[in-house]
Amino acid sequence: MQDDMQFASTENPALATYTPAVRQQLFQFVLQLADTSLILGHRLSEWCGHGPILEQDLAMANIALDLLGETRSLYQYAAQLEGQGRTEDDLAYLRSATEYRNPLLVEQPNGDFADTVVRQFLFDNFHYHFLKQLLTNADERLAAIAEKSLKEATYHLKWSSEWIIRLGDGTDESRRRVEKSITELWRFSGELTTPTALEKSLQAMGLIPEYEDVQASMTAHAERVLTEATLAIPQQIFMLTGGKDGRHTEHLGYILTELQYMQRTFPGLTW
């Protein structure tokens, strides 16, 4: 997208203090956050026009839009960190699946409404508590993006938490479905707070939050919501990881095929 505005350049004094190596690492991490919001936003947008009822169709489209907005802020910052002249569009449309760094959870298919709600709940629970930690981050641009997105993520987590409760403590059918979704998707939740080598390195430098506090807040919230939903909390689940290192499930390729179709078919197309 061609923008008619620019980010204030005076906003982030930390940027000048990074060595090229640190800058490269931070670039990779911001890219990971951007990919995550983009892929989940894309998944949610697939619901548009297919939601179970109009209001929830709108809710998912709204959440998708918030995530897309966050994505753009992150890609713009990533492009600046990289400093190689690539734009936000290049980063979104011209990287292959193995270059994408989103965790596996967000690329999982929409399935039925319960699958989407559980996937959203697992992500929102991480997103909300992670952004809260990021608010006080030394990198002011990341902190500013977090400040903006946290207000939105608050609505998202409220939405998905209430739906977990409605489905779990609803009818036999809704309960059966949400239990099935939890069994299927919970194993992707561990990756969100399992640091990769890149994240460990950035955490050691104090550039991104440690995940222990994030995980503790997530666990507390999940227990509260699942208990209220009269659902059992999964125990001793083997967690699947790899997305943040570029090893994806087969689903990402299909997403990118659709998402990148125009740029791959008509390189450099603008509107």
Partner 1 sequence: MVAPAPPAEAHIWQLLEEVTDPEVPVLSILDLGIVRAVRVEGEQITVTITPTYSGCPAMNTIATDIRLRLLAEGYTKLIINNQLSPAWTTDWMTKAGREKLEAYGIAPPIDGTASGHVLNLFGKETAVRCPLCKSEHTHLVSQFGSTACKALYQCDDCREPFDYFKCHS
Judged by the rule CB under 8 A, the positions of this chain that interact with partner 1 are 1, 3-8, 11, 55-56, 58-59, 61-63, 65-70, 72-73, 128, 140, 143-145, 147-149, 151-152, 154-155, 157-159, 161-162, 165, 221, 224-225, 228
How many other CB atoms sit within 10 Å of the CB of residue 166?
Answer: 14
| 67, two tokens | 């995530």
Question: Which residue, 198 or 208, is less far from partner 1 as judged by CB?
Answer: 208
For residue 83, the one-letter residue type is G
Q: Kindly tell me which of 139 and 199 has the beta carbon lying closer to partner 1.
A: 139
Closest CA to 137 of 210, 67, 64: 210
Report the nearest approach of partner 1 to the CB of residue 238 (Å).
29
- Closest approach, Cβ 93 to partner 1, in A, equals 18
Contact of 12 with 140, CB cutoff 8 Å: yes
In 10 A of CB 184, how many CB atoms? 15
Closer residue to partner 1 (CB): 10 or 236: 10
* C-beta of 151 vs 200, nearer to partner 1: 151
Exposed/middle/buried for residue 121 (C-beta within 10 Å: 0-12, 13-18, 19+)? buried
Per the document, the length of the chain is: 271
Choice between 144 and 252, CB closer to partner 1? 144
Nearer to partner 1, 73 or 181 (CB): 73
The nearest distance, CB 128 to partner 1, in angstroms, is: 6
Name the CA radius of gyration of the chain, rounded.
Answer: 18
CB of 208: closest distance to partner 1 in angstroms? 18
Q: Are 261 and 208 in contact (CB under 8 A)?
A: no
Per-residue tokens: 133:
């930690």
> Cβ of residue 88: shortest distance to partner 1, in angstroms?
13
- Structure tokens, 125: 């629970």
Closest distance of CB 68 from partner 1, Å? 5
Cα dihedral sign, 158-130-80-252: negative
